[in-house]
């Protein structure tokens, strides 16, 4: 091979397109190195360094807004779409890291390797959002998932945590298998892994659209992502894993990786399979309804708040899926908006849960929250705001997000889907309100004296409150950005 070819190959690389994730990876590796030279149990530096890494990455993402970068022969694109999702991941990771230190210390795992893992996972999520080639997306998915498998089972001596890690790994490996199978089939049909090329090829060869291979490829790829999004009936791992994993990781998983899966899923469906829109919207219609109904109905029986939030996250994935069924500008930008809003409100709720527990005993039952609102007014108000946002009541982020998504569905003509979504929100009032009833309308059983308010966790709660309210009261600006971000 002559030098000319090499130069051409390198010209197409364009490192700027992966710069945000590169920065994060560098911070993560640097942190790993630093950890070697510090005694075990020191974690404060890790928190700071990862936060700085996240902020630097965030600044870089902001700077690149409106200036799309394409690299690696168009296998990676840092466009507005990726940038918007990157911000969501960074928010999720930042809030998670802020609440982690206290929790890990309390549970007796002050291990600084935790933080690089979170950073790597975030970088993987970023590749998923900016991947424009099946292989890049798959790479991102694996980087993210492997990190999550470890993080879910991070408490090595707790059986629940082990179970969470193992279950997630086994089922996740299966779903990845489906995804790869699907990618292979689509490659076989179209001869490409590049998303745009697949789309153009399929559009040009309409005879292939009805081919069983194309359809099977579509379904198998979809299943790979539906598993990560936790759509019924691929949701079964969610409650067990969410309950067993360390609480901050549960919070992270419900916001960051879920958004990442949505990002790739959206891109693949829109870039590759736009010619098959009627088929996949029909499939997602059924799955969205199933997801909303099962998530909400089962959440009613839960007396463990962490588990209840796990089911509610399934239901929320169902709402977001409604935006995909709508498959129009408002629906898609609604998903972007909703994911960001969900990161704030759900992680905020988990941060309150982190503080409400004590060592070895997470204190997550409803009974355990009796009178909590009176004994801990700040946490009570914070939880109230997050719950209202999760219910979708105005003036919170959850309302604005749900509104956009349902408006998109109505605009696309899916009136009944919107009505089912609204009815599901009504069911969800029941179990969210129950938490509030316990917090405010019950006499305190305990004095909650153990609840300490470390600055870092309070900061994360305050940021989450600010985000939930800002997106709810003035959603216009962010929604405009989300609109610019969709294709």
Pick out residues in 312-341 that bind another protein (CB under 8 A): 330
Contact assessment for residue 411 and residue 322, using Cβ atoms and an 8 Å cutoff: no
Told to check if 403 binds another protein by CB under 8 A, we report yes
Q: Which of 149, 171, 144, 140 is nearest to 264 (CA)?
A: 140
Told to check if 26 binds another protein by CB under 8 A, we report no
Told to check if 462 binds another protein by CB under 8 A, we report no
Contact assessment for residue 141 and residue 264, using Cβ atoms and an 8 Å cutoff: yes
Q: Which of 350, 386, 154, 380 is nearest to 256 (CA)?
A: 350
Question: Considering the complex, what minimum distance in angstroms separates the CB of residue 207 from another protein?
Answer: 8
Q: Which stretch binds another protein (CB under 8 A): 59-67, 143-151, 196-204, 470-478?
A: 470-478
Of 174 and 271, which CB lies nearer to another protein in the complex structure? Answer: 174
3-class state of residue 358 by DSSP: strand
Q: Which stretch binds another protein (CB under 8 A): 103-111, 143-151, 435-443, 446-454?
A: 435-443
Told to check if 291 binds another protein by CB under 8 A, we report no
CB proximity list for 405: less than 8 A, separation 6 or greater: 319, 320, 322, 323, 326, 331, 334, 335, 338, 421
Among 427, 451, 458, 459, binds another protein (CB under 8 A): 427
Question: Considering the complex, what minimum distance in angstroms separates the CB of residue 405 from another protein?
Answer: 11
Among 48, 62, 430, 487, binds another protein (CB under 8 A): 430
Question: Considering the complex, what minimum distance in angstroms separates the CB of residue 17 from another protein?
Answer: 18
Contact assessment for residue 485 and residue 333, using Cβ atoms and an 8 Å cutoff: yes
How many chain residues bind another protein (CB under 8 A)? 79
Told to check if 426 binds another protein by CB under 8 A, we report yes
Told to check if 213 binds another protein by CB under 8 A, we report yes
254-283 residues in contact with another protein (CB under 8 A) are: 279, 283
3-class state of residue 77 by DSSP: strand
Of 52 and 173, which CB lies nearer to another protein in the complex structure? Answer: 173
Of 56 and 166, which CB lies nearer to another protein in the complex structure? Answer: 166
Q: Which of 310, 458, 319 is nearest to 397 (CA)?
A: 319
Question: Considering the complex, what minimum distance in angstroms separates the CB of residue 64 from another protein?
Answer: 22
**For residue 443, what are its two tokens?**
């006499």
Told to check if 193 binds another protein by CB under 8 A, we report no
Q: Which stretch binds another protein (CB under 8 A): 125-133, 266-274, 340-348, 389-397?
A: 389-397
Told to check if 242 binds another protein by CB under 8 A, we report no
Of 55 and 415, which CB lies nearer to another protein in the complex structure? Answer: 415
Of 38 and 55, which CB lies nearer to another protein in the complex structure? Answer: 38
Binding letters toward another protein, positions 148-187, x by CB under 8 A? -------------------x--xx--xx--x------x--
**For residue 224, what are its two tokens?**
């790979």
CA–CA distance, 99 with 107 (Å, rounded to integer): 13
Write down the residue that tokens 């067990």 correspond to: 240
Among 31, 90, 223, 347, binds another protein (CB under 8 A): 223
Among 127, 242, 265, 388, binds another protein (CB under 8 A): 388
**For residue 473, what are its two tokens?**
């009261």
Question: Considering the complex, what minimum distance in angstroms separates the CB of residue 109 from another protein?
Answer: 19
Of 214 and 264, which CB lies nearer to another protein in the complex structure? Answer: 214
Told to check if 189 binds another protein by CB under 8 A, we report yes
**For residue 303, what are its two tokens?**
């007396």
State how far the alpha carbon of 462 is from the alpha carbons of 103, 209, 348, 379, in Å. 17, 50, 8, 10
Provide the β-strand partners of residue 133. Answer: 194
| Burial class of residue 110 (count of CB atoms within 10 Å of its CB; 0-12, 13-18, 19+) | middle
Of 60 and 448, which CB lies nearer to another protein in the complex structure? Answer: 448
**Sign of the four-CA dihedral 262, 432, 453, 345:** positive
Of 105 and 411, which CB lies nearer to another protein in the complex structure? Answer: 411
State how far the alpha carbon of 323 is from the alpha carbons of 95, 200, 262, in Å. 26, 24, 11
């Amino acid at each position: 091979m002559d030098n000319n070819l090499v130069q051409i190959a390198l010209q197409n690389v364009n490192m700027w397109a992966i710069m945000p994730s590169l920065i994060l990876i560098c911070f993560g590796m640097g942190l790993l190195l630093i950890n070697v030279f510090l005694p075990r149990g020191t974690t404060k530096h890790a928190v700071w360094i990862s936060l700085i890494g996240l902020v630097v990455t965030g600044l870089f993402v902001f700077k690149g807004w409106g200036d799309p970068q394409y690299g690696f022969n168009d296998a990676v694109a840092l466009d507005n779409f990726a940038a918007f999702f990157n911000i969501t991941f960074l928010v999720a990771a930042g809030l998670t890291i802020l609440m982690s230190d206290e929790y890990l210390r309390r549970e007796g795992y002050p291990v600084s390797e935790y933080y690089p893992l979170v950073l790597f996972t975030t970088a993987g999520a970023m590749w998923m959002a900016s991947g424009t080639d099946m292989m890049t997306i798959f790479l991102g998915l694996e980087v993210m998932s492997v990190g999550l498998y470890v993080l879910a089972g991070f408490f090595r001596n707790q059986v629940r945590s082990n179970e969470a890690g193992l279950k997630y790994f086994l089922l996740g490996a299966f779903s990845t298998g489906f995804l790869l199978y699907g990618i292979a089939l689509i490659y076989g049909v179209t001869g490409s892994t590049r998303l745009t090329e697949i789309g153009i090829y399929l559009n040009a060869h309409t005879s292939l659209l009805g081919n069983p291979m194309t359809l099977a490829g579509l379904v198998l790829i979809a299943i790979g992502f539906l598993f990560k999004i936790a759509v019924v009936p691929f949701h079964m791992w969610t409650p067990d894993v969410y309950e067993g994993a360390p609480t901050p990781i549960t919070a992270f998983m419900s916001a960051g990786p879920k958004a990442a899966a949505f990002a790739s899923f959206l891109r693949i469906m829109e870039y590759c399979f736009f010619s098959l829109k009627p088929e996949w919207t029909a499939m997602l219609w059924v799955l969205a309804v199933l997801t909303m109904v099962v998530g909400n109905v089962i959440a009613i029986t839960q007396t463990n708040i962490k588990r209840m939030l796990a089911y509610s996250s399934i239901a929320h994935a169902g709402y977001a899926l409604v935006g995909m069924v709508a498959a129009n500008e408002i629906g898609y930008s609604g998903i972007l908006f909703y994911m960001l809003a969900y990161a704030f409100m759900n992680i905020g709720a988990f941060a309150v849960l982190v503080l409400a527990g004590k060592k070895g005993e997470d204190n997550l039952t409803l009974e355990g929250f009796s009178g909590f609102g009176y004994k801990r007014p700040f946490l009570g108000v914070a939880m109230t705001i997050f719950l209202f946002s999760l219910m979708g009541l105005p003036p919170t982020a959850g309302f604005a997000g749900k509104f956009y998504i349902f408006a998109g569905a109505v605009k696309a003509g899916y009136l009944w889907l919107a009505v089912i979504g609204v009815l599901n929100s009504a069911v969800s009032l029941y179990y969210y309100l129950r938490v509030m009833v316990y917090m405010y309308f019950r006499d305190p059983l305990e004095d909650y004296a153990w609840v300490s308010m470390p600055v870092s966790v309070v900061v994360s709660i305050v940021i989450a409150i600010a985000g939930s309210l800002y997106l709810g009261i003035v959603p216009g600006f962010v929604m405009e950005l989300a609109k610019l971000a969709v294709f």
